[in-house]
Amino acid sequence: MTDMMTLTTHPSIAAIDPQVWDGLGDGNPFTTHRFLSALEQSRSVGTGSGWQPLHLTLERDGQMVAAAPLYAKSHSQGEYIFDHAWAQAYVRAGGRYYPKLQCAVPFTPATGARLLARDDEARAGLLAGLMQVAERLEVSGAHVTFCTEHEADLGEAAGFLPRVTQQYHWLNRGYGSYDDFLGALSSRKRKDLRKERARAQGFGGTIRHLSGDDLKPHHWDAFWEFYQDTGARKWGQPYLTRAFFDRIQETMRDDILLVLAEIDGQPIAGALNFLGPDAVYGRYWGCVADHAFLHFELCYHQRSTMRSRMDWAGSRRGRRGTTSWPADTSRCRSIRCTGCAIRASCARWKTIWIRNVMRWAPRSRRWPSSPRSERASCRRDRAFASREAPGGQPPGPPGVVLSVRCQTFSSSASPALTVQVPGLSSTSMDFTTPSST
């Protein structure tokens, strides 16, 4: 890099110009300033949530040329890329896995750009700065999840460790109508889908598509009830607050498609979608009355019918599970780096664990245990990590508040990159885990 670059962390996206931030993106609704701002203003992220905003901006000669949504995390909830094995390996090696840095969109398993930049030089600068911030804060590592394949390649070249998972996307292969799509299927599948849709649409009510000014507060009251019901069914805790839906009503209503099923004017089920420049992103579904196949009708078939009319390229749903809806497999990557000596032992432990899974899984569903020699290797790795950790001891227990002074420094590997970590202190960084109540 020949030009001077300066990377800065921001404890709130409100400190960043919305037009400049959005000008670096590709139109994906989840990385827009208004979506991330809605998460912060509604307190869905921030103090007490385990998602502490720490957004990155990169300036070249005084102009912002790159940005990335970044959070300091005290848990692995709401990521949809499960790294519990990594956390366990890190602890067994003698380290403290949390806090960690997460470059992602909270609670959103939608693949898209995470390094918002004008060119690859700026993206490389973000990755280099991200690693330096991780080292400066002395966290276990930095993770970039649900990024594009190009970003994953850049991360791997920069020294991040890649991970590949799968998603299911529906692509519009030139279908002019829903019937065109059915025509591409076998006779049996066409017949099954038509029967399912007939049963779903016979629930005794009507289905409405709401977007823009058609969305009213009472629609969000109903959908909030659906959202809470879905969270309760999954034995989980809903991440979003009620205020979040009010915020997106104010700032994103033209980017939203809410599909509601109503009986006698009362909503009984709904599916929330976000509209991108070339795709519809299905995010949340819920209901207060069970009707056969209504879930698939609202979440898939209704979207497909509208997509064919409006000539969108495709549809993308969340990560959970699979579906009978025809879908293509997409590569979804997570790249991460670790900033201390435990990195090698983590990789070794993971290799040992995978080998044992292959050995033991056919015989038992129990967690595989290591042979004696491998347990001895893990003990040696923990001893090595303890000696190499700062101060000769592993980091303290989880939940400790991170204290960092304001500092600007340069990287010996990238002399033209200056990193600023302003305003971080024991009071501004919160790593408390959200309450289960």
How much is the pLDDT for 338?
A: 53
Identity of the highest mean pLDDT range in 1-10, 69-78, 132-141, 228-237: 69-78
- Fill in the DSSP letter of residue 265: T
> Which pLDDT does position 287 carry in this prediction?
94
Res 314: pLDDT = 52
The tokens of 227 are what? Answer: 């959202």
Residue 127 contacts residue 419 (beta carbons within 8 Å): no
User: 5-10 and 417-421 as β-strands: parallel, antiparallel, unpaired?
Assistant: parallel
Residue 1 has pLDDT above 50, yes or no: no
What pLDDT band is residue 204 in, cutting at 50, 70 and 90?
A: very high
Average pLDDT over residues 15-41: 96
In sequence order, which residues have a C-beta less than 8 Å from that of residue 62 and are 6 or more positions away?
none
Could you tell me how far CA 332 lies from the centroid of its own chain? 11
330 φ, ψ (degrees, to nearest 5): -120, 145
Token look-up 């607050």 returns: 241
Round the average pLDDT of the chain to a whole number and report it: 75
pLDDT class for 5, splitting at 50, 70, 90? confident
* Predicted pLDDT of residue 221: 96
pLDDT tens sequence across 303-358? 877 654 444 445 554 433 323 333 332 344 556 665 433 333 333 333 333 333 33
Rounded distance, CA 224 to CA 218, Å? Answer: 10
Determine the residue type at 432. T
pLDDT of residue 253: 95
The residues near 82 (Cβ < 8 Å, ≥ 6 apart) are 76
Taking 50 as the threshold, does the pLDDT of residue 397 lie above it? Answer: no
Q: Which amino acid is at 78?
A: G
CA atoms within 13 A on the CB side of 270: 27
Query: Is residue 388 within 8 Å of 340, Cβ to Cβ?
Result: yes
Per CATH, which fold does 5-167+333-340+389-421 belong to? Aminopeptidase (3.40.630)
The sign of the torsion formed by the CA atoms of 154, 157, 163, 165 equals positive
Phi, psi of 269 (to 5 degrees): -160, 155
pLDDT-derived band at 149 (thresholds 50, 70, 90) equals confident
pLDDT for res 248: 97
Q: Residue 321: what pLDDT? A: 30
pLDDT above 60 (res 195): yes
Reply yes or no on whether the pLDDT at 94 is more than 50: yes
d(CA 46, CA 289): 34
pLDDT at 160 over 80: yes
Distance, CA of 120 to CA of 201 (rounded, Å): 49
Cα–Cα distance, 62 to 70 (Å, whole number): 21
pLDDT in tens, 105-126: 999 999 899 999 989 999 999 9
Write down the pLDDT at residue 415.
Answer: 33
Tell me the β-bridge partners of 101. 72, 142
Residue type, 109: P
Q: How far apart are CA 125 and CA 118, in angstroms?
A: 12
Angle (CA) 303-278-147 rounded to 5° is 105
Average pLDDT for residues 155-163, to the nearest whole number? Answer: 86
H-state helical runs in 95-186: 120-137, 149-157, 178-183
Same fold, 5-167+333-340+389-421 and 173-312: yes
Tell me what the mean pLDDT of segment 9-38 comes to. 96
If you average pLDDT over residues 13-39, what whole number do you get? 96
Where along the chain do its domains lie?
Answer: 5-167+333-340+389-421, 173-312
Distance CA 16, CA 378 (A): 45
What pLDDT, on the 0 to 100 scale, is given for residue 422?
52
Task: Provide φ and ψ at 11, rounded to 5°.
Answer: -75, -5
Q: Does domain 173-312 have CATH number 1.10.3720.10?
A: no
Q: How many residues does the chain have?
A: 437
Among residues 160, 82, 77, the alpha carbon closest in space to that of 114 is found at 160
Instruction: Specify the pLDDT at position 324.
Output: 30
Classify 392 in phi/psi space as left (phi over 0), alpha (psi -120 to 50) or beta.
Answer: left
Q: Return the pLDDT at 244.
A: 97
Amino acid in the structure at residue 414: S
| Non-local CB neighbours of 203 within 8 Å, separated by 6+ positions | 261, 263, 268, 291, 292, 294
Closest listed residue to residue 131, CA positions, set 335, 337, 333, 334 = 337
* C-alpha to C-alpha distance for 160 and 114, rounded to whole angstroms: 15
Please give the Cα distance from 352 to 90 (Å, whole number): 14
Q: When comparing pLDDT for 399 and 167, which is higher?
A: 167
Top-confidence range, 237-241, 285-289, 320-324: 285-289
Structure-derived torsion over alpha carbons of residues 408, 412, 415, 418, reported in degrees to the nearest 10: -20
Residue 27 has pLDDT above 70, yes or no: yes
Task: Tell me what percent of the residues of the chain surpass a pLDDT of 70.
Answer: 68
Does the pLDDT value for residue 385 go beyond 50?
Answer: no
pLDDT of residue 402: 31
Give the integer Cα–Cα distance in Å for 374 and 224: 50
Name which of 75-84, 169-178, 222-231 the model is least confident about.
169-178
The angle formed by the CA atoms of residues 220, 225 and 230, to the nearest 5 degrees, is: 120
pLDDT surpassing 50 at residue 389: no
Share of the chain above pLDDT 90, in %: 47
What pLDDT score was predicted for residue 178?
86
Structure tokens at 235: 């034995």
| Residue 194: partners with Cβ closer than 8 Å, 6 or more residues away | 182
Which DSSP state fits 138? T
CA quadruple 138, 143, 144, 149: dihedral sign: positive
* CA distance linking residue 342 with residue 94, whole number of Å: 8
- The mean pLDDT of 241-253, rounded to a whole number, is 96
